[in-house]
Structure 1
Amino acid sequence: MEGTGKYRSGSVQDSVYVNLRKNIINLNLAPGTGISEKEIALRYKVSRTPVRETFIHLAKEGLLQVVPQKETLVSRINFSRVEQESFLRESLEMAVLEPFISKSKPEHFAALKQLIREQREAIKNDDYITFVTHDDAFHHALFSIAGQELSWAVLEQMSGHYHRIRLLTVRFKGIAAGIVEQHKNLLGALQKGDLPTAGALLKQHLHKLGDEKNLLIEEFPDYFVSEEGGNAFDVDFGALP
């Protein structure tokens, strides 16, 4: 697990939160892993107070499961949560297409094409974390250019389960290459100002889990909440730090 005694920016709590969340959503801390305030405090060379606050925030995001007086676990991936996070993403991203088209400039498309090239390079290197990072950057750019940074911040904050699913599925043969092709086609429609086609392509791009769900459960059985039950979650937008 990554750790650092040097904080990048903001408060100690912010730094612990950013680092721990990154380790969770990038699967450096596998779903179901037990962690403790003491362990994390030692890892990041901080007192237990900022760690405790970080645990509270991550629990509200559904990324930690805290059992009082017993244990704290990295939450297993909940498919119900994934579906809701996916719905949120599709709803917000469909809404930014029109303002993106009206506000985009040639230099924006050049930057987006560069991100697609970087995704292709990540595939060649089997670097899936970098691939998903560039994928996020591509979609973030749509929001940013559309002038909807707040929507992106909310989306990113509440998509930890969805992010982990993406990181797992892009490892399947052909998935990453298909995403790159979809980005290319979506960008082409946006550059033409073709909103209906762009909307249809985006819906296809943000597809629901189909056969991939069974493949994921078969390959990573301990990563997921069972269909019969599992840890509950609350969507609490007040958790934004």
Structure 2
Amino acid sequence: MYALGNEFGRRTTVDEVFDRLHADIVTLKLEPGTRMSEVEVAGQFNISRQPVREAFIRLSNMRLLEIRPQKATLVRKISQSHILNSRFIRTAVEVEVVRRACASKTQLDIVSFDGNLARQKQSVANMNVDEFHDLDYAFHHLICRAGDAEFAFDTIAGNKAHVDRLCMIQLSSQSALNEVREDHAEIYDLLKKRDEAGTIKLIRHHLSRLDQTLNAARDSHSDYFED
């Protein structure tokens, strides 16, 4: 899973625990409603409870865990209202990132973009859903770098985590993954042309796919939702 914890500094035990649990929640290896224990997680990592507690707090701040004093900590169920609010924030941020990328005089990192898209195509062909989601994170991170706005990626990633749980439910067919990959390829082509209006229009369309995904996920896994 794409590493989110303290990417640019020295990685700590808390980062390692956070990244593992974040990945397991996002990929539904830890399903909504699952009970979590500091003691059990500490035992799995062979560490003390303190780093686990700190990782739990970070995940709680992202609304991925529900910490209940004197009761079991739970993997939060999916909130439709929070998903839609998160999409609103992410769209606003990513549109501004795209504006900066299109206005930038710095050449795009062609090697990284081309490599990412080639690997996306291969992961779709192999139906490697976990790898595809990692590459999806990395692609949007590259856009932030192109706009000299890496600081914005934390906001995008934080909001994206909730959407990713929906995607793990619904975007598991080759055709669905390929739609996302084709969006990415077209976004990249428009960025290379510095077509601000076209890129923004496509980013909005790309993120609007959430509506159909959300409705289908609610129909198939209503027990995963809290509202």
**CA distances 1:175-215 after superposition (whole Å, capped 9, x unpaired):** 21111111222222221121111111111111153333232
Structure-1-length-normalised TM-score: 0.82
Q: Which runs of 5+ in 1 are unaligned?
A: 1-8, 228-241
AA at the equivalent of 1:92 = V
Determine the C-alpha separation between the residues in 1 that align with 2:144 and 2:45. Answer: 33
Task: Tell me the equivalent position of 1:122.
Answer: 123
Task: Tell me the equivalent position of 1:70.
Answer: 71
CA gap of 1:203–1:175, structure 2 versus 1, over 3 A, is same
Displacement of 1:158 after TM fit?
A: 4.2
CA contact (8 A) 2:166 2:213 kept: no
CA contact (8 A) 2:125 2:174 kept: no
Deviates more, 1:97-106 or 1:197-206: 97-106
The answer to whether residue 50 in structure 2 is matched with residue 52 in structure 1 is no
Q: Secondary structure at the match of 1:68?
A: coil
Correspondence 1:39-188 to 2 at 5 A: 39-101=40-102, 102-105=104-107, 108-172=109-173, 174-188=175-189
Determine the C-alpha separation between the residues in 1 that align with 2:198 and 2:139. Answer: 18
- Aligned-residue Cα RMSD (Å) equals 1.9
Determine the C-alpha separation between the residues in 1 that align with 2:146 and 2:50. Answer: 38
Aligned structure 1 segments of 4 or more residues deviating by more than 4 angstroms: none
Displacement of 1:41 after TM fit?
A: 1.0
Q: % of aligned pairs identical?
A: 29
AA at the equivalent of 2:64 = L
Displacement of 1:155 after TM fit?
A: 2.5
CA gap of 1:99–1:118, structure 2 versus 1, over 3 A, is same
Determine the C-alpha separation between the residues in 1 that align with 2:213 and 2:11. Answer: 39
CA contact (8 A) 1:109 1:187 kept: no
Displacement of 1:104 after TM fit?
A: 4.3
AA at the equivalent of 1:40 = V
CA contact (8 A) 1:24 1:74 kept: yes
Task: Tell me the equivalent position of 1:239.
Answer: none
The answer to whether residue 191 in structure 2 is matched with residue 190 in structure 1 is yes
Q: Which runs of 5+ in 2 are unaligned?
A: 1-9
Task: Tell me the equivalent position of 2:39.
Answer: 38
Q: Secondary structure at the match of 1:100?
A: helix
Displacement of 1:172 after TM fit?
A: 4.2
Displacement of 1:169 after TM fit?
A: 3.0
Question: May I ask how many residue pairs the two structures share in their alignment?
Answer: 217
Determine the C-alpha separation between the residues in 2 that align with 1:35 and 1:94. Answer: 37
CA gap of 1:119–1:173, structure 2 versus 1, over 3 A, is closer
